[in-house]
Structure 1
Amino acid sequence: MTDTYAWLRAEAGAGRVEEVIVAVPDLQGRLQGSRLAVPYFLEEAARHGFGACVYLLACDVDMGTGPGYAIDAWNTGFGDFLLHPDPATLRALPWDPGTALVLADAAWPGGAPVEVAPRRVLAAQLARLAGRGLTAFAGTELEFLVFRDSYQDAWERRYHGLAPATRHNVDYALQGLSGIEPVVRRIRREMVRAGLRMETARAECHTGQYEIVFRYDEAMATCDNHVFFKDGAKQIAAQEGRALSFMPKFDEGEGNSCHVHLSLRGKDGTPVFADDTVDGGMSQLMRHFVAGQLACLPDFALLMAPNVNSYKRLRPGAFAPTGVSWGRDNRTCPIRVLGSGASLRIEHRVPGGDANPYLAVAAVVAAGLHGIDDRLPLPAPHAANALADPSVPRLPGTLAEALHRWESSELAVKVFGDEVVGHYAQAARAELAAFESAVTDWERVRGFERL
C-alpha cells in the first residue's frame, strides 16, 4: 500500500516539519482546526480522525451558535465529530516554518459524513456530475483590498480612516504600486512555494485593490486552494504589518468579487462545452448548462452571496450583476461565456470575496445539472449593457430576499436536501439577526443631532 504521508515522514525526519494543522472549512469558508505534533498526527489522527467540536459547522462569523441549525450544539452537549484528513491537501506553510496543513472532512462517530459541511455539499454535487460521466474544472478569481494599517490598528480604530496601500486607481497599472507590492509579492511567491500555480496578478480599480489568479483545476482542488490562499494571504499580511480584506463592499468604491470560471469534461478528459459544428460553438450540453444557471440564480443566490454586505456589492452602478442574463464576453451579465474550443467556459460573476467557494461552486454545478436534466432552452445572449436594461429579471436585492427564495425553493430541497437547505437558511437568519440588532454609523450621523 502506498504511504500517503511519505512526504510528511521525510520532512519530519529531516527536521523541517514539526507540526500539522488539521483544518475544516466552516460555513464562512474559513479554516478552523488544531495543531498536532507530527508523530501524534501520523499515529492517531491520520488513521482514526481527530475530534473537534460540532459547533464549528453551526456558527456565525462571531462563533455564535444556537438552535435552528441542523447541528444543535447546545442540545447535544457540544460534543465532537471526527475530522478525517485528506492527504491530497497536505502542504507546507512557507509563512509558518516547521508547519504543514491538511484539510479534513467531518464525519459523525459512527462514520456517516456531516452532510452540511461545505466540502461535503460540493462533493455531493460533483458525485451527481460523475454519475453522468462528467467532471467539473473550476478557477476562482479573488480580489482584495490592502491597507497600510495593521489588523490591530484597524480594529482599534473600528475600521475608520484606514489608508489604502495605493493612492489612486491603479487598474492594470505598472506604476504607483510601491505601497502594495511588498506584501503582494510575498503572497504571490509563498503561495507558489506552497504548490499553487499562479497565472496572473495585477492591481485593480479600487485604491489598494489587487487580484491574484491561480491555475484552474478540478473543482474540489480549486476550492481547497481558494480557502488555503485566503487564509494564508491574511497571515502573510499580518506578518508584514498590513491588513487586507476580502469583504464584498468596504466602502462606496469598487467591491471585491470572486468570479468563478467553470467548464465540464467527459470521462476521457475531453472538454464537452465546445462544438465547432454549430453556430456559436456551444454544444447543446453547454447551452442547457447555461440555461440552468439563469433558471436557478434567484433561488441559489444565498450560496453565492451569503451575507448582508454581499448585497451592497450587487447594487446598480457597482459594476456587479443585478439581473439574470447571459452574454458572450459581456461583463455586465452575471453569466459570461468566454473562450473557445477547449477553453470555452462560463464565468459566474455573482459571488463576492466573502463567498464560500465550496457552496458557490456547488450551486453552479447543481444549476447546470438542472438545465441539463430538464433540457432547458437557452435564450438569446444579451449583447448590450445588462446592468442598465430594466427588462432583465432582477437578482435578489437583499439577504432577506435571497433567504426567502432559498427557503421556498422546491428545487433547492430536491438537489441539496432538507437538511442542507435548513442549515444554511439558519446561517442567513443568524446574519440578519446580528445586523438588525446593530446600530450603524449611518444611523448615528443621520439621527444623533437632527432627530
Structure 2
Amino acid sequence: MNQLNTIPIDMGFIRKHGLWTEQQISEAEAVLALVEEKKLRTIRVATADPQGKLRGKTLMPKTFRSAMKNGLDFTTAQYNFDSAEGIAYNPFTTDGGLGFTEMAGFPDVVLVPDPNTFKILPWCDRTGWILGDMYFHDGRPMPFDARHKLKAVEADMRREGYHVVAGLEIEFYVTRLLDQHLGAVHMGGLGIPPTPPKVEALWRGYAYQAEEHHDQIATLLDTLADHCTALGLPLRTMEDEMGPGQLEFTFDVQSGLEAADTMTLFRSMVKQVCTRMGYHATFMTLPGLPNFVASGWHLHQSLADDTGINIFAACEESGELLTEVARHYVGGLLQHAVEASVFTTPTVNGYKRRKPNSLAPDRSTWGYDNRAAMIRVQGGPGDPATHVENRVGEPTANPYLYIASQIASGLDGIRNRIDPGPLEASPYEATHRPLLPTNLPDAVEILAGSTFFKDTFGEEFIAWLIGIKKSEIARFTAAHPDWAATPEVVTEWEHREYFTRY
C-alpha cells in the first residue's frame, strides 16, 4: 500500500474537535489523492500573520498527510511581533505577555489546513500550497488569528439571510531590481528591517493606462495572469496606473473569506514571481522614491440572498440607486469608518493617501460614481451589478481584518437601520461629514475607545492589536520625533519598514 494511504484522516485532532465540515473532509481526501497523482515533492502549509503576510512550513507528502489529520505544530511567535519582527510582547512571562498561560515561552499551537484553499503553485516545480487556521491544543480557536474573525462576522451576516459578495481592486508597484543589498551590513535585526533593495522605475513619467507601458512588461504581466488562472484567482483586468511602474489588478466577486484568501495568495505570488524575474514588487502605499504616487486597495461590496440575487440592486421602477438594505449597509460603513481606520489603513505610511483632491477619501462620505467619496455607488435602478466601492483601504492591509471590519459595519447598519444621509456631490467639501484620521497614532487611539469593535472582535483582540501597532509607532517616533511637522514626507524609516516586507 502507498505510504500516503496508511494514516486515515477521519481520526485525530481535526475530527476530534470538529474543525472541518463534511465538505472539507471530502475535499481533504481529494487533496491527498491529488498530491499522490501529481507526485508533488513538497507542500507549503501557511497562515496569515497579524500583518496579513504568509508564514509557513514546507512539508514532505507523508508529513502533509499527518497534518491533514492532526494539524501542524506551529509557533505562536508571530503574535508577539510587530511589523518588523520587533518584540511587542515579552513571550517569556507567565502569560506570554498576551494574557494566556498557553502563550508563555513562544509555545507551539496547532495550524489546521483548510482543504478548500489547496493549490499547486505554477512557479514552483511539484509544489503544493495550503492555507490554515490556528488553534490551541484543546481545539479552541487562536484568539488573535484574523481569519477566524472574518469567518465569524461572515457567519453573522449569513444568519441575517445575506451572503457577502466582495471584489478586489488592488494597486501596487513593480520596479526593476538592481541590487538586493544582501551584504552583512544590510541584514537588519529584530525590529530593524533590512536595507531596501536598490531599484529603478520601469518607465518614465506619468501616462495613465498607457498601452505602451503594458507592452514594456508584457512578459511579466502575461506570467502573472497565467499564474492567477492556474491558481483559480478570478483575475478580471490589469492596467497601468498613475505612477511609474504602478499597476492595478481587479478580481471578480467572491465571498468575503474567498476574497481575503485571494488577496493573501496574490500578494505573495506577485512578490515571489517578480523576484524570480528580476523585479521587485511592493504593496507599500507610497514608496520613498522620487515622483511615486500613493496606491490604494478599493473593496467592492454587495450582498446576495440564498438564490444569488443581488440585494443591493433596486428595481428599475423604483428609480432608486440602492435598496433600503443597501442604504443601511452604507450607513454602517460611514458610521464606523473613523474607528475602522486601523483595519483599513494599518501602517504609518498608508495615511499619506488621506488628503483632499487626491483620488482618496479624507472624510466619511458617499457619492454616486464619484472617486472623491469614500463610498462610491456604482450601478443604479435595474442594474443587477449594483454595488458600493470603499476607496479607503491601503494595499498592505490585513485582508481578513479589512473585509471583516466592512462586513461588521454594514451588518450593524442593517440591524440598526442607520441612515447614510444624502449623497455628496462634492465630497471633499462636505464639512459636516466626519474627517478620517490622518495618522496611525490617532487611528490607534480612536480604535482603543471603540466599543463597537471591542464588541465585534473581542476586547482582548483589540487590546492585543493596539499593542502591536503601538510597538510599530514607538519605533517610528523614536526615529523621527518631529514627524508631525512634515506629515506628507515619506521618511527613510517608512521606506525601510515597508518597501521590502509588503
TM-score, normalised by the number of residues in structure 1: 0.92
Whole-angstrom CA distance in 2 between matches of 1:263 and 1:442: 35
The answer as to 2:82 corresponding to 1:60 is yes
Instruction: Note closer, same or farther for the CA distance 1:6–1:294 as it changes in structure 2 (3 Å cut).
Output: same
CA shift, 1:253, in A, is: 3.3
What per-residue deviation string (whole Å, max 9, x for no partner) do you get for residues 125-166 of structure 1?
Answer: 111111111110111111111111257159969448731112
Whole-angstrom CA distance in 1 between matches of 2:330 and 2:103: 43
CA shift, 1:300, in A, is: 1.0
Kindly indicate whether the alpha-carbon contact (under 8 Å) linking 1:188 and 1:212 is maintained by their aligned counterparts in 2.
no
CA shift, 1:374, in A, is: 1.2
Kindly indicate whether the alpha-carbon contact (under 8 Å) linking 1:70 and 1:422 is maintained by their aligned counterparts in 2.
no
Kindly indicate whether the alpha-carbon contact (under 8 Å) linking 2:31 and 2:115 is maintained by their aligned counterparts in 1.
no
Q: 1:35 aligns with which of 58, 75, 95?
A: 58
Q: Give the 5 Å matches for 1:155-174.
A: 158-159=195-196, 162-174=199-211
| Residue equivalent to 2:458 | 417
The answer as to 2:152 corresponding to 1:112 is no
| Residue equivalent to 1:210 | 247
Instruction: Note closer, same or farther for the CA distance 1:346–1:302 as it changes in structure 2 (3 Å cut).
Output: same
Q: Which deviates further from its counterpart, 14-23 or 116-125?
A: 14-23
Whole-angstrom CA distance in 2 between matches of 1:442 and 1:368: 33
| Residue equivalent to 1:359 | 401
AA at the equivalent of 1:51: D
AA at the equivalent of 1:375: R
Whole-angstrom CA distance in 2 between matches of 1:435 and 1:288: 38
CA shift, 1:358, in A, is: 0.8
| Residue equivalent to 1:448 | none
AA at the equivalent of 1:410: T
Q: 1:373 aligns with which of 388, 402, 415?
A: 415
CA shift, 1:32, in A, is: 0.5
Kindly indicate whether the alpha-carbon contact (under 8 Å) linking 2:166 and 2:256 is maintained by their aligned counterparts in 1.
yes
Q: 1:332 aligns with which of 366, 372, 383?
A: 372
The answer as to 2:25 corresponding to 1:5 is no
Instruction: Note closer, same or farther for the CA distance 1:208–1:74 as it changes in structure 2 (3 Å cut).
Output: farther
Whole-angstrom CA distance in 2 between matches of 1:66 and 1:398: 20
Which secondary structure does the structure 2 equivalent of 1:136 belong to?
strand
Q: Give the 5 Å matches for 1:43-442.
A: 44-67=66-89, 70=98, 76-150=104-178, 152-153=180-181, 158-159=195-196, 162-251=199-288, 253-276=292-315, 277-340=317-380, 341-384=383-426, 386-439=427-480
Whole-angstrom CA distance in 2 between matches of 1:262 and 1:150: 39
Which secondary structure does the structure 1 equivalent of 2:343 belong to?
helix
CA shift, 1:433, in A, is: 1.0
Instruction: Note closer, same or farther for the CA distance 1:149–1:105 as it changes in structure 2 (3 Å cut).
Output: same
Whole-angstrom CA distance in 2 between matches of 1:320 and 1:98: 42
Kindly indicate whether the alpha-carbon contact (under 8 Å) linking 2:178 and 2:197 is maintained by their aligned counterparts in 1.
no
AA at the equivalent of 1:261: H
AA at the equivalent of 1:91: K
- The percent of aligned pairs where both chains have the same amino acid is 27
CA shift, 1:391, in A, is: 4.4
| Residue equivalent to 1:449 | none
Whole-angstrom CA distance in 2 between matches of 1:48 and 1:420: 26
Instruction: Note closer, same or farther for the CA distance 1:280–1:208 as it changes in structure 2 (3 Å cut).
Output: same
AA at the equivalent of 2:270: A
Whole-angstrom CA distance in 2 between matches of 1:196 and 1:212: 11
Which secondary structure does the structure 2 equivalent of 1:101 belong to?
strand
Q: How many pairs are equivalent?
A: 442
AA at the equivalent of 2:395: G
CA shift, 1:279, in A, is: 3.5
Whole-angstrom CA distance in 1 between matches of 2:362 and 2:55: 33
Instruction: Note closer, same or farther for the CA distance 1:336–1:58 as it changes in structure 2 (3 Å cut).
Output: farther
Kindly indicate whether the alpha-carbon contact (under 8 Å) linking 1:148 and 1:242 is maintained by their aligned counterparts in 2.
yes
TM-score, normalised by the number of residues in structure 2: 0.83
